[in-house]
Each structure stands twice: as structure tokens, then as C-alpha cells.
Chain A
């Protein structure tokens, strides 16, 4: 049981406090409930670009990093399709500096043309470094585009194309801030060596006066059910041909999500898993083969991806994967195998608690999905899943007309 407390300021800011006195440090994590899925289709990559601008200083505090470094702190941030997460760690005695810095950039940024132009350039270089100049760097862009037609998950966090980033204007930056960055659209998580009363007092002092904003969470386009098999073949200058099968699955809060997670573990968690033993070791059709869920909050993807051994055709490879997928549809997972994947999830749950920063991020993620309390229910959910339920879900997910296949051919 992970013991934490929950609070809320009058302006709607949710606060989660998780004490861990084994460290002299505190982690502060602020999660804004905005991600790439909230972007305008002509300004993809904007949430992530905006994340960079959050480090450009405010009217009150022209430089974000320097005061934090003076406090002995360190920070970073990341953007996903569903959220933007800012985190820092600081020695416990200098925690107030963190409150001061984070509250001020929630209040208002110093929107500057120079900062925008530099960060556009930085993000464009990031785009090149991660996606264009990297073997297999465009896989997720292709796969999302294939698997989704309406929902904004059809583009990646970094954005669809460089021009979307290059063309962003300062007015758009301001609008985005006032639309999504607000105490009533964020969660503040503190973990580590904290005193509850002092944290609440500081939260009230620094965040309490930030006005509530009119956050309009509009309904996102719903992805229609997939009714036919989709296939895309591309040729690239890469050493090995790769195969990707993406199946549509349910959202992060559904029971199906947990069942799919267990199925992916049965198929590919660890060297004893089915795909590794059968198709990598025994038949040697693949040199790498994985099954995983995308983990998105709205209905997401169950992905099987692998690199083919030399001389193996896409057709042979995909048939072999389907044989393994069909087994999960026909035969219930045996009890030891089910016990194994559940044991692993339980152990991972304990390992995760070894780091205070990791805990702050996990709690923030669950708070973004729904409520941080979910984190404590996870194991019960997994524990309650039966072999029969796994079989039923496999039957529902692993259908050809529910599949998008990407053939990534080596030139």
C-alpha cells in the first residue's frame, strides 16, 4: 500500500503528498493535463514545443534554471500524447525555491519572440536527431498514421512535420498557455522528505493566489471502429527488415487495458516469454521481437514489433506471429504462466517504490489518467484476471480486421 494524502486548493489545484524519509531530497512534479492530443492538426508538436518555452523565464523571474541551481536543484520535463509533466528535485531545506519557481510559471510566462525562435530551432534539431537521422526513426509516425484516422493519436508528440513547429506564432503560444495552463488543469505531487503541514502552507502561499482559468476541455474526435485490415509497406535505408502489427484496444481505465497488459507480458516479458522462446530462440525467424501496449489514456494500441532474421520474408514472419497470437485465442494460459506474469508485476510494483522521483512521476501519471489512488488498485486488478478472460480478450483484439500492419523493408 502506497501511503499518500490528497488535498485541493480553492483554485482547483490538486495536491498529492507522498512522504519517503529514506532520502534527504524532495521531488516536485507538476503535471498539466494537456498533451499532443489537444493540438490543432495544423500545429502538431505544439504541446512539446510549449514545454520548451516553459523554461524561458517569467516577468518576475527572468531565468528559471539559475535560482534552482542555486538551491542545489535539478529539473526536466516531458510531453506525451496525454500530458505534460515537469519535475525537479531539490534538497529538502530549499523546497520553497521550487514552490516559488513553479508557481510563477503557472501564473504567467514572459512570452518572448527570441525565446520562441531559439526553441523552435532546438526542437527542430531534436526532431532531426530523434526521427530523421535515426534508423527506424519514423516508425511511430507511420504506424500512428495507419492505425488512426480521426483521433489525434494519429500524430506523434514531436509533431507531424517540421513546418508545424517552424510556423508557430507567439500569439498561438499565449493562447495555448491561457487555455491549458491553469491550477484547475494541473496536479502538484510532492514526494520524498516532506512535512505535510509545511507543504500545504507553502502550496497555499505560492499557488493559492493563481486565478482559476477557463479551461475548455473539448471532446476529442472519437476514432471509429476499425473494420478492415490495413497494410503499409515502406523501404528505408536500414540494416534489417522490421514488422509491426498494431491492434486497436481499449482505454487506460477499462478492465480490458489490464488484460491486454497481461497478454503482452505472456507474449514478451522476459526471456522465458512465448515470442522470445519460440520465434527468436527456437525458430530464429526474428532477432528481436516484442509485444507491448502503447499505454495511451484514450483507446490505444497493442503492438507486436520485431526485426526479421536475414533471409526471412515478411509473409513467413507475420504468419509465425499470428500462430502465437492465435494460441492465446484458443487455449487458456496455464496457471503457472499466469502466476509468473502476475508475480513480475508485483515485484515491479515494489521496485518502482525505490525512487522518490519515480514515485512522484507515477502518482502524477495516475492523477492525469484519473486519480492517483488508482496506483494502489493496480495489483488487485491484475490479480483478479483469469485465464478465461485473457482468452476472451485475445479473441476480441487479435482479429485481422482490427490490425494495421507496417512492413518496414531494408533497402
Chain B
């Protein structure tokens, strides 16, 4: 039997994901534990989260290096012993510091949790900051930094963040080579003592674990032997610079990196969902307008994207690409053209339908698996939101109109309000 291949199979409505939510426990000393049980494999991720990110650091490097030093030696374990224990159990220890939080993550087979927690306990309560390891780490981080500074996309992103938030704001990437020179180990020990304690800590679990784990956590982290003073959150306000266009020179660069954008609304704002959908149409998926025009029609770039990025305190639009220097001006012109088109014409119904379907599919993908569900919770919790946020977003995807989108484009994406940074030759 021959089939007619020009006719697409019938489409079925895309369901809503089943959002597993965490259960909240509280340790004896008041530390909240959000435990999200999901998944098939007996794997568990435990995040120890502290308000100790860049937002809280009085000096460059404090947040990231303090966090990284936790695996470099404690009262009971040397760095080698810590590494050995995790490796031997096939577990991963990840130390990360971002804008707001410093996190120690343990990813392990459930059966080994009990062997790893005593080490984490000593890291959090009794890190010793050995000088040799510190200097080595500082040196390696500096080399990594110097390498990053060779990349046009990094130079562009740094400048863009400074333009958007103002120098000195925690979201402005202000790290310089000389910051590696004037550090003092005592500052890091101080930062550790004031930020890594029970009154500044939250625990997040995701995966498959037994109920015993809460008792184990209480045993290791629920005591009053690591109390401290609650950390105050400093206030910063973004102060975008007035000059709308900046250029960073990079000798010998074959391609130029381009960043465009501006501050938008926060996640609580009624226009948030509409702007997410609008930015998706502009540059958030493979058949977005920027991709179809600048990559798939003109071939100027390997990739171009637009994102509406939400940090805890600010949301902003970011359009990013890398193109041959000779395509620089033409690319900027097409970006402007595509933004103005969103203002001047309503999005055609078939395109809007496609974006609705794509985003509903993304909805399923984004919440798939235990770790993704854990992250989905963080994306609410860290912003003071509840699960109705996702219902509202889902509803907005299904119901937003072309007129509303056009109105948002007119209101928020005026091209003379955008900042443009180019890094290249």
C-alpha cells in the first residue's frame, strides 16, 4: 500500500507535565530541606545552598574561590582524601558560586550517601584553607581567566554586562587580571566564617532517596555547632550607561561577537509571560526570525539567539551571535529589521500556532527527570513564586494574541532603547 507522504499525520494536543513537588522538612536547627522524590534510578543530588554568591562579596573572587577552597582540605580530611572518597564511590562533588548562591552539590548513588555526608559536614564546618592549595588554585584560575579574555564572546559579554548594569553592580562582570594579585587569604577565611553557617543555609534534594536521608542530614547538619549571624542582603540597583553603542577591540579576531539587549521586567510582572513568548519568536528556537533570516537565509553565522534572561533581581533581553567581521554591519541591520517587523506587523497566525506548540513541548521537556524538576522548583522558590506561576505561563502560551505581542514589541523593544556591544578586530 502506498502512502501519501505530502500529508502530515494528525496532531494531538500536547499534555501538561506532571509537576512533582518537593516535600519540606526542617532540621533541628531550623535549616529547611526541600526533598523532591522522582525518577527511576537510585541516584540522588543534594545541594547545600548558601547566600554567598557574587552579590555578597565585598571584593572580586571572594565568592568563587571561597567556595572552591572547601574541597581543598578540612580539619579531618586533606584535599586528596576528599577527592579519593568521592571518586571511590563513583560520586561527584561540585562546588559552584553564581550571582546569588554558593552551592556544594553531591551527586551519588543513594546507597553511598551515608559515607559522603561526614566529609561534606567537615567541609562546611571546618575547612582549613591551606595556603599552598590556595595559591595553586588562584594561579590556575588566573590562567583560565587569561584564556577566557582571548575570546571575543567573553570580551563582548563582559562589556555588555557593564553597560547594562553599571560598573560595580554584582551582575556586571568586572573581574580584572590585577584582581588576582591583591588577594589576602584571611579575606577568604572571613568570608567562609560569615557566610557558611546554619543560619545562611538551605538544602535541596532531588532524585531517589530513602526517608532515612532526612535523619542523616539532621545528624550531620542539624546541630547548633555551626551557628552564625544571618547574612544581610546588600542593595544594588542597575544603572545602565547612557551611551548605547560600544566597541571592544580584539586584535586579530576573525569573527566579531555581537550582543544586543536591555533591561526588561522581573518574573512577577504581568508582561513577563508575553515577553518570554515574544523573545522566543524573535530568537528563542531553531525557526525563530533571527535564525531564519540571518543563518538560514543569509548564512552570516553558525548561530544567533535571543533570550529573556531572569536573574533574581533583574530580567533582561540578550541577543547574541558571532559573525565574520565583514558581516557585522549587515547582521546588525537585519537584527533591527526583525525587531521592527515585530512592532509593525502582527505575528501571522500560523507562526503563532507553531510557537505555541513548540513552547508547550518545551514545557514537557523542561520538567522531565528528577534533576530538572528540582531546578523547576528552584526557579520558583528563589524568586518567591509558587507553582501557579507555571499554570499561568502555560495558560499564556495557549491564549496570547498577535495583537498583544505586537503591543509588547512596541512597548519594550524600541530599537533606540537597545544597547549594542561588538567585540572584534
A associates with B: yes
Task: Show the binding face of A for B, using Cβ within 8 Å.
Answer: 20, 22-25, 60-61, 65-67, 69-75, 89-91, 93-94, 96-97, 99-100, 103-104, 107, 117-123, 125-126, 128-129, 132-135, 205-206, 209, 237-240, 269-273, 276-277, 280-281, 284, 287-288, 307, 309-310, 336, 339-340, 343-348, 350-351, 353-356
Inter-chain contact B87/A271, CB cutoff 8 Å: yes
Whole-angstrom CA separation of A3 from B240 in the bound complex: 56
Q: Which of A121, A122, A128, A272 contacts B87 (CB 8 A)?
A: A272
10 residue pairs bridging A and B, Cβ less than 8 Å apart: A60-B6, A61-B6, A71-B361, A118-B298, A122-B299, A126-B302, A134-B151, A281-B133, A287-B140, A344-B87
CB pair B88–A343 under 8 Å, yes or no, is yes
Min CB distance A386 to B, Å, is 19
> Known contacts A69-B358, A125-B323; is A24 also within 8 Å of B15 by CB?
yes
Interface code B283-303, partner A: CB below 8 Å = 1, 0 otherwise?
001110000000111111110
Residue B252 at the A interface, CB < 8 A?
Answer: yes
Q: Is B140 in contact with A288, judged by CB distance below 8 angstroms?
A: yes
Cβ of B299 and Cβ of A133 under 8 Å apart? no
**Whole-angstrom distance between the Cβ of B131 and the nearest chain A Cβ:** 13
A65 vs B295: C-alpha distance when bound (angstroms): 14
Instruction: Report whether B90 and A206 are in contact in the complex, using a CB–CB cutoff of 8 Å.
Output: no
B87 partner residues in chain A, CB cutoff 8 A: 269-273, 340, 344
Complex-state Cα separation, A27 to B267, whole angstroms: 31
Contact B301 A65 (CB under 8 A): no
Minimum CB–CB distance for B117 against chain A, Å: 17
Chain B: CB-nearest residue to A114: B297
Residues 244-278 of B at the A interface (beta carbon under 8 Å) = 252-255
State which residues 1-29 of B face A: CB under 8 Å: 2-3, 5-6, 8-15, 17-18
Are A118 and B299 interface neighbours, CB within 8 A? yes
**Contacts A69-B358, A70-B354, A239-B146; is A350 near B43 (CB within 8 Å)?**
yes
B39 at the interface (CB under 8 A from A): yes
B interface residues, Cβ below 8 angstroms from A: 2-3, 5-6, 8-15, 17-18, 39-43, 71, 79-80, 82-84, 86-91, 107-109, 133, 136, 139-140, 143-144, 146-147, 149-152, 252-255, 285-287, 295-302, 322-324, 353-355, 357-358, 360-362, 364-365, 368-371
Bound-state Cα–Cα, A270 to B93, Å: 10
> Are the C-beta atoms of B147 and A69 separated by less than 8 Å?
no
Could you say which of A69, A281, A344, A351 contacts B79, with CB atoms under 8 Å apart? A281
CB pair A351–B324 under 8 Å, yes or no, is: no
Q: Which residues of B contact A353 (CB under 8 A)?
A: 40-41
**Complex: A307 Cα to B147 Cα, angstroms:** 11
In the complex, the answer to whether B11 meets A122 with C-beta atoms within 8 Å is no
Complex Cα–Cα for A276 and B79 (A): 12
B296 contacts A71, C-beta separation under 8 Å: no
Nearest-Cβ distance from residue A163 to partner chain B, whole angstroms: 16
Residues on the A chain within 8 Å of B354, using CB: 66, 69-70
Whether B90 contacts A71 by the Cβ 8 Å rule is: no
- Check A205 against B3 for contact (C-beta < 8 Å): yes
Within the assembled complex, what's the spacing in Å between the Cα atoms of A24 and B108?
25
Question: Are B83 and A118 in contact (CB-based, < 8 A)?
Answer: no
By Cβ-Cβ distance, the 3 closest A-B pairs, closest first, are: A347-B90, A72-B361, A121-B299
Q: How far is the CA of A49 from the CA of B297 in the complex (A)?
A: 16
Given A72-B360, A72-B361, A134-B151: A355 touches B299 (CB 8 Å cut-off): no
Expressed in whole angstroms, the minimum distance between the Cβ of A225 and any Cβ of chain B is 35
In the complex, what distance in Å separates the CA atom of A124 from the CA atom of B209?
Answer: 48
CA distance A90 to B368 in the complex (A): 12
Contacts of B297 in A (CB 8 A): 118
- List, in ascending order, chain B residues with CB within 8 A of A344's CB: 87, 90
Chain B residue nearest in CB terms to A281: B136
Closest to B287 in A: A65
The reply to whether A61 and B5 contact each other, CB–CB distance below 8 Å, is: yes
- A303 to B143 CA separation, bound complex (whole angstroms): 22
Say yes or no: A24 contacts B140, CB within 8 Å: no
From the candidates A22, A71, A93, A118, name the one contacting B357 in the complex (CB within 8 A). A71
Contact of A270 with B361 in the complex, beta carbons under 8 Å:
no
* Residues of B with C-beta under 8 A to A288: 140
A20, A65, A125: the one contacting B324 at CB < 8 Å is: A125
Q: Is A346 a contact partner of B90 (Cβ separation < 8 A)?
A: yes
Are the CB atoms of B299 and A125 closer together than 8 Å? Answer: yes
| Chain B min CB distance to A60 (Å) | 4
Taking a contact as CB atoms under 8 Å apart, the answer to whether A240 and B136 are in contact is no
Alpha-carbon separation in the docked complex, A140 to B395 (Å): 48
**For A25, what are the chain B residues with a Cβ–Cβ distance below 8 Å?**
364-365, 368
Chain A residues near B90: list those with CB within 8 A. Answer: 343-348
> In whole angstroms, what is the CA distance A277 to B43 when docked?
28
A103 / chain B contacts, CB cutoff of 8 Å: 5
Contacting residue for A90 out of B80, B139, B361, CB 8 A: B361
CA distance A360 to B13 in the complex (A): 25
User: With A61-B5, A70-B358, A99-B9 given, can you name 19 additional A-B contacts, CB distance below 8 Å?
Assistant: A22-B39, A24-B364, A69-B357, A91-B364, A97-B9, A97-B11, A103-B5, A129-B322, A240-B143, A240-B147, A270-B86, A271-B83, A272-B80, A347-B89, A350-B43, A353-B41, A354-B40, A354-B41, A356-B368
Do residues B89 and A343 form an inter-chain contact, with CB atoms below 8 A? yes
Question: Contact between B357 and A117 (Cβ–Cβ < 8 Å)?
Answer: no
Q: How far is the CB of B228 from chain A (nearest CB, A)?
A: 28
Q: Which of B8, B144, B255, B370 interacts with A67 by CB under 8 Å?
A: B8
Within the assembled complex, what's the spacing in Å between the Cα atoms of A66 and B8? 11
Given A126-B302, A135-B151, A239-B9 contact (CB < 8 Å): no
Q: B254 and A118: CB pair below 8 A? A: no
B150 contacts A238, C-beta separation under 8 Å: yes
Instruction: With CB as the reference atom, state the residue of chain A lying closest to B144.
Output: A287
Contact partners of A96 in chain B: CB under 8 A: 9-10
B-chain residues with CB within 8 Å of residue A70 when the two chains form the complex: 11, 353-354, 357-358
Expressed in whole angstroms, the Cα–Cα distance for A208 and B369 within the complex equals: 33
Cβ A133 vs Cβ B9 within 8 A: no
A263, chain B: closest CB distance, angstroms: 16
State whether A271 and B287 are in contact (beta carbons under 8 Å apart), knowing that A239-B150, A348-B90 are contacts in the complex. no
Decide if A23 touches B369 in the complex (CB within 8 Å): yes
Contact call A339/B88, Cβ cutoff below 8 A: yes
* In the complex with contacts A65-B287, A93-B14, A239-B146, A270-B5 CB distance below 8 A: no
B365 touches A89 (CB 8 A): yes
A354 to chain B, nearest CB (A): 5
Query: Are B139 and A309 interface neighbours, CB within 8 A?
Result: yes
Q: What residue of chain A has the Cβ atom nearest to residue B152's Cβ?
A: A133
Partner among B80, B108, B324, B368 whose Cβ is within 8 Å of the Cβ of A23 = B368
| Given known contacts A60-B6, A346-B90, A128 and B299 CB-to-CB distance under 8 angstroms | no
Name the residue of chain A whose CB is nearest to the CB of B358: A69
Which residues of chain A are within 8 angstroms of B13 by Cβ–Cβ distance?
93
Residues of B within 8 Å of A123, CB to CB, are: 302
Minimum C-beta distance from A16 to chain B (A)? 19
B6: min CB distance to chain A, Å = 5
Do residues B88 and A132 form an inter-chain contact, with CB atoms below 8 A?
no
Residue in chain B with minimal CB distance to A308: B143
Point out the residue from A73, A273, A280, A354 that lies within 8 Å of B361, measured CB to CB: A73
Docked-complex contact A97 and B8, CB < 8 angstroms: yes
Identify A74's interface contact among B40, B83, B107, B365, CB under 8 A. B365
Q: Which residues of B contact A120 (CB under 8 A)?
A: 299
A355 to B41, CA, bound (A): 10
Would you give the shortest CB distance from A373 to chain B, in whole angstroms?
A: 21
Shortest distance between the CB of A295 and any CB in chain B (Å):
20
Complex-state Cα separation, A309 to B90, whole angstroms: 29
Kindly list chain A residues whose C-beta atoms are within 8 Å of the C-beta of B361: 69, 71-74, 90-91
